[in-house]
Amino acid sequence: MSTFKAPKGTYDLTPPDSAIYLAVREAIAAPLKRSGYGYIETPGFEQVELFSRGVGESTDIVSKEMYTLTTRGGDELALRPEGTASVLRAALEANLHKAGNLPVKLWYSGSYYRYERPQAGRYRHFSQVGAEAIGAEDPALDAELIILAVDAYKSLGLSDFRLLLNSLGDKECRPAYREALQGFLRGLDLDEDTRRRIEINPLRVLDDKREAVQKQLVGAPMLRDHLCEACKAYHEEVRALLTAAGVDFVDDEKLVRGLDYYTRTTFEFVHGGLGSQSAVGGGGRYDGLSEMIGGPALPSVGWALGVDRTVLALKAEGIELDLPAATQVYAVPLGEEARKTLFGLVTELRRAGVATDFAFGGKGLKNAMKSANRSGARFALVAGERDLAEGVVQLKDLESGEQTAVAFDAVVSELLARQG
Ligand code: AMP
């Protein structure tokens, strides 16, 4: 232990568990990579205003949870609390939308920061893999993204998750609905904070988790009944495409999500084994965001899946990923001469693609064999002076205990063959 600990609300990823996180990121990215999404990376911090304008002043994310800082040069920056605003900013800055190929499809993977009250599944530093499809209004694009997320979860073996689906309407129908909802909400018995929310973001009140609030919401006007014809038709098509793809969903007319930029399609994936922090991923359409941050009209849709919670979901379902052994071969030299020869062989094996490790630090045979077993390697390569004199190394199968002498120049091909 050093004097220091990981800051509150954060945790370190260390081997062997860190391999699970890497595998989860890769599993989420795989369906995107084969669907035309290109990789994008943006800075860990941005101008505060990108988020206050993009995500919305009235959201918890911006008003309570952002890590902001003033640089020595006087810039107001924020550690990124989410990915969409940054990715759209970067796409606009690079003029990707002008290259003539819309939608611009991008995926990303990285760290995000929110000053939240830490608890199981809720951290101040967490990890997401996300995807954005920028510059097209097409229900098939919404469906594509949802299908790719479902396929990612399924490829990990997850099954105890549900897809909640809603439409938030657009600039045609939402304003009138918003007013109708405000009229209803103003008549309720609500605390100061919630009353303020009625004025800035009334839809969020529908999402209030408190029972006392939920009880009063019975009979509230529902957006479903206020959607314009275009939004209705759009949503019906998304639903039909999902059904045709064999994707189950639950219509959840109260699903609003915590970010202001959503229009039309919104969705969330919830997992049954995670307790109160059950959202493993979510997203939706954000047709107005580009204009909100000073860009042209670019209707877009995207999602972000939480890596931390996906790992928790795997644990909850008792799923062990089939990860390749970090080390396949472990080399154990006996004596100085053998050290040099075996170290050379180790390099050759690695270059041939065999994951190989070496007994460093001049360990004795007993200790070195213990390390070989701990490494998870299937084979040990052992060589002493007599072996060197005969031009061989001993190849030991650590599962069966069987040992055979193999000529130096046949070691690589022998191990490649045994790997199958
Ligand atoms: P959001 O943008 O808030 O919908 O977040 C998308 C996903 O990121 C969520 O469904 C979670 O899986 C994950 N996520 C968001 N906030 C946190 C957090 N504080 N700790 C861990 N995961 C989070």
The enclosing domain of 239 has a CATH number of 3.30.930.10
Q: Is 359 within 8 Å of 368 (Cβ atoms)?
A: yes
Whether residues 376 and 263 fall in one domain? no
Domain boundary among the residues 286, 316, 346 is at: 316
Whether residues 312 and 355 fall in one domain? no
Our count of domains for the chain comes to: 2
Find the helix packing angle between 229-244 and 139-155, rounded to 10°.
30
Question: Which among 51, 60, 112 is the best mutation to test ligand 1's pocket, defined by most ligand atoms within 8 Å of the CB?
Answer: 112
From the annotation, which residues make up the binding site?
82-84, 114, 128, 132, 257, 261-262
Name the residue range of residue 357's domain.
329-419
Domain boundary among the residues 316, 341, 375 is at: 316
- What secondary structure, in 3-state letters, does 192-205 show? HHHHHHHHHCHHHH
Distance 248 CA to ligand 1 centre (A): 22
With respect to residue 312, please indicate whether it lies within any of the assigned structural domains: yes
With respect to residue 217, please indicate whether it lies within any of the assigned structural domains: no
Q: pTM of the full predicted structure? A: 0.93
* Nearest protein CA to atom 21 of ligand 1, as residue: 122
Whether residues 41 and 118 fall in one domain? yes
Question: Rounded to 5 degrees, what are φ and ψ at 60?
Answer: -60, -40
The sheet carrying 392-397 orders its strands as 356-358, 329-333, 379-383, 392-397, 403-407
Give the distance, in angstroms, between the CA of residue 94 and the centroid of all CA atoms in the same chain: 24
Whether residues 151 and 272 fall in one domain? yes
Whether residues 108 and 66 fall in one domain? yes
Measured from the Cβ of residue 19, the count of other Cβ atoms closer than 10 Å reads 14
Whether residues 247 and 381 fall in one domain? no
Whether residues 258 and 109 fall in one domain? yes
Core vs surface per residue 41-79: b (16+ CB within 10 A) or e: ebeebbebebbbbbbbebbbbbeebbeeeeeeeeeebbb
Q: Distance between CA atoms of 333 and 375, rounded to whole angstroms? A: 16
With respect to residue 197, please indicate whether it lies within any of the assigned structural domains: no
With respect to residue 126, please indicate whether it lies within any of the assigned structural domains: yes
CATH number at residue 369: 3.40.50.800
Whether residues 246 and 380 fall in one domain? no
Per-residue pLDDT of the chain (420 residues; tens, 9 = 90+): 799 999 999 999 999 999 999 999 999 999 999 999 999 999 999 999 999 998 888 788 888 999 999 999 999 999 999 999 999 999 999 999 999 899 999 999 999 999 999 999 999 999 999 999 999 999 999 999 999 999 999 999 999 999 999 999 998 998 999 999 999 999 999 999 899 889 888 888 888 889 999 999 999 999 889 999 999 999 999 999 999 999 999 999 888 876 677 899 999 999 999 998 999 999 999 999 999 999 999 999 999 999 999 999 999 999 999 998 889 999 999 999 999 999 999 999 999 999 999 999 988 999 999 999 999 999 999 999 999 999 999 999 999 999 999 999 999 999 999 886
* DSSP-assigned states of every residue in 352-400: TT--EEE--S---HHHHHHHHHHTT-SEEEEE-HHHHHHTEEEEEETTT
